[in-house]
Amino acid sequence: MGTPTPADTDALPNGPLDAAAVHLCVDMQRLFAEQTAWHMPWMARVLPRVRRLAERFPERTIFTRFIPARNPGEGRGCWKRYYERWACMTLEQLGEDMVALVPDLASFAPPAQVVDKRVYSPWLESSLEQILRERRADTLVITGGETDVCVLATVLGALDRGYRMVLATDGLCSSSDETHDAMLTLYQQRFGQQLETATTDQILRNWT
């Protein structure tokens, strides 16, 4: 066996990406980017990498947006308690403009599509699955936040549906360094057979 070449070590485990791949960008929104109670301090650090993926294939990009309850205490069960605790993050308090995508990404939609959801998972109440079927997509390149909340819900739903997934490790963010790091370990060690992790540069070099 010879020494692996750079091309060998740069390859994705399950081969290159093609037209059946979609960039699914999770919740890169103003309410997380700006100085709110849900601020993610290092979203700004990953944003240029997410933007590079979106601008490479805007027509193959789907943005999800998390839409909070309109008023404090709305919702069923634990969500009612959640919005009692986070009354400051309801639409009544925030304003509708804060659910918008961050300006650096908003310019890509259209042709990128936007899918709204009111829970962590984009698979339960949105049109995401239908959109992916219509596109004949079989692979998801995942970026966004939070690594340990909405990205986790996105990954588990995609896994159950059998999608190939490639997580852009330097295109993910969270408000917690500790649980972000723990989730990357979980993704790589517990789900390593069913998902791939790579840098955005590596993804771009493998996406034709």
| Per-residue confidence band for 9, with pLDDT thresholds at 50, 70 and 90 | low
Domain count, the chain: 1
Interatomic CA distance for residues 25 and 200, integer angstroms? 13
39 within domain boundaries: yes
Residue 56: pLDDT above 90? yes
41 within domain boundaries: yes
1 within domain boundaries: no
Q: Are 99 and 31 in contact (CB under 8 A)?
A: yes
* CATH number of the domain residue 95 falls in: 3.40.50.850
180, HSE (Cβ side, Cα atoms, 13 Å): 18
Mean predicted lDDT score pLDDT of the chain? 92
Domain with 62 in it = 6-205
Residue whose token pair is 């009544």? 92
| Per-residue confidence band for 126, with pLDDT thresholds at 50, 70 and 90 | confident
pLDDT score of 74:
86
17 within domain boundaries: yes
Q: Are 137 and 161 in contact (CB under 8 A)?
A: no
pLDDT score of 3:
44
- CB count in 10 Å sphere of residue 184: 17
Q: Are 128 and 137 in contact (CB under 8 A)?
A: no
131 within domain boundaries: yes
| Per-residue confidence band for 6, with pLDDT thresholds at 50, 70 and 90 | very low
